[in-house]
């Protein structure tokens, strides 16, 4: 009886091992499909950014989406005792640093916010794919591309308020004349002065006038600079904080 029991036990072990291998093979096959889908969906979002010449394009978005999906897949392979929520939190934190790297501030203009939002979005997309939420991931991709393409056309046509700042230099004795003429020139070009400060140096007879401006649409600062510098009492003009 003992040899028969050993044979049965070994057979059970072999069948269990085969079952485990088959289960692992099925899991890996499904996981590979998820990773490929993550690359495709992330790449579609990145393609729109690539077409618009943004620093983070197709490859960046595809890799972020792939990485997020891979982390979720690996966490699932470690067993039911592993908390996937921690993996998701780690992804969100890491992508935050990556998104911050594409944001550039030049004077009053901030560029890269939409691209940073896209990177954050494809990370969430990768999480959805890694969890097997295919319909939600596909629908989210379609909606995001629609938002990027349709709103890119619609948003510039909405009325908006622009803020800017101009610095004007001249003689301290002419400060009142400079302020009056600058205000008039700015008003004619659609700018409203919402703040004013000045610095006077009586010894050097120099003055610096800072005007904080508001307008309904962005003005051409180069053309306006030429108009301001054409004022006889003005010596120099610069823009920005």
Q: What's the sign of the alpha-carbon dihedral 192, 195, 196, 197?
A: negative
| Rounded-to-integer distance, Cα 70 and Cα 35, Å | 7
What's the pLDDT at 109?
Answer: 60
Residue 236 DSSP code: E
Does residue 122 contact residue 50 with C-beta atoms inside 8 Å?
no
Chunked in runs of 10, what are the mean pLDDT values of the chain (241 residues)? 59 60 76 92 88 80 92 82 77 78 62 83 92 92 89 70 77 81 82 81 78 70 74 79 62
The pLDDT value given to residue 2: 53
pLDDT at residue 141 in the model: 93
Cα four-point dihedral sign 65, 67, 71, 76: positive
Indicate if 42 and 57 belong to the same structural domain.
yes
Clarify whether residues 26 and 143 are in a common domain.
yes
At residue 137, the pLDDT reads 93
Whether residue 68 is found in the same domain as residue 13: yes
DSSP result, 148-196: HHHHHHHGGGS---EEEEEEEEEEGGGHHHHHHHHHHHHHHTTEEEEEE
| pLDDT for residue 8 | 57
Token pair for residue 208?
């610096």
Measured distance CA(210)–CA(195) in Å, rounded: 8
Per-residue pLDDT at 65: 93
Domain co-membership, 68 together with 114 = yes
Q: Are residues 107 and 167 in the same domain?
A: no
Q: Are 241 and 195 in contact (CB under 8 A)?
A: no
pTM: 0.63
109 forms beta bridges with 106
The structural domain count of the chain equals 2
Contact between residue 62 and residue 39 where contact means Cβ atoms under 8 Å apart: yes
Same domain, 141 and 195: no
Residue 198's DSSP bridge partners are 209
Q: Are residues 46 and 152 located together in one domain of the fold?
A: yes
Per-residue model confidence (pLDDT) at position 213: 79
Shared domain for 187 and 227, answered yes or no, is yes
Same domain, 54 and 114: yes
How would you label 180-206 residue by residue, b for 16+ Cβ within 10 Å and e otherwise? ebbeebbeeeebeeeeeeeeeeeeeeb
- Please check whether residues 47 and 85 belong to one and the same domain: yes
127 vs 133: CA distance, rounded Å:
9
Last residue of a domain, one of 156, 172, 207: 156
- Residue 8: burial class (beta carbons within 10 Å; 0-12, 13-18, 19+): exposed
The answer to whether 119 and 95 have CB atoms below 8 angstroms apart is: yes
Distance CA 181, CA 54 (A): 41
- Domain of residue 174 covers 162-239
pLDDT of residue 221: 60
């Amino acid at each position: 009886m003992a040899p028969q029991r050993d044979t049965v036990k070994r057979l059970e072990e072999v069948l269990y091992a085969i079952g485990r291998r088959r289960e692992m093979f099925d899991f890996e096959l499904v996981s590979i499909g998820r990773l490929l889908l993550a690359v495709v969906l992330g790449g579609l979002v990145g393609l729109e950014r690539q077409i618009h010449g943004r620093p983070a394009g197709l490859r960046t978005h595809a890799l972020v989406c792939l990485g997020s999906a891979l982390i979720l897949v690996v966490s699932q392979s470690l067993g039911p005792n592993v908390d996937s929520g921690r993996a998701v939190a780690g992804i969100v934190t890491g992508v935050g640093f990556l998104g911050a790297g594409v944001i550039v501030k030049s004077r009053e203009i901030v560029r890269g916010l939409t691209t940073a939002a896209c990177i954050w979005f494809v990370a969430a997309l990768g999480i959805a794919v890694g969890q097997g939420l295919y319909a939600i991931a596909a629908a989210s991709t379609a909606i995001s591309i629609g938002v990027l393409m349709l709103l890119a056309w619609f948003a510039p046509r909405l009325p908006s308020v622009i803020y800017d700042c101009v610095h004007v230099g001249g003689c301290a004795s002419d400060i009142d004349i400079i302020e009056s003429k600058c205000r008039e020139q700015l008003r004619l070009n659609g700018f409203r002065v919402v703040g004013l400060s000045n610095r006077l140096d009586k010894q050097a007879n120099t003055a610096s006038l800072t005007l904080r401006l508001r307008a309904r649409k962005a003005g051409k600062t180069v053309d306006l600079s030429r108009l301001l510098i054409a004022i006889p009492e003005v010596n120099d003009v610069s823009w920005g904080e």
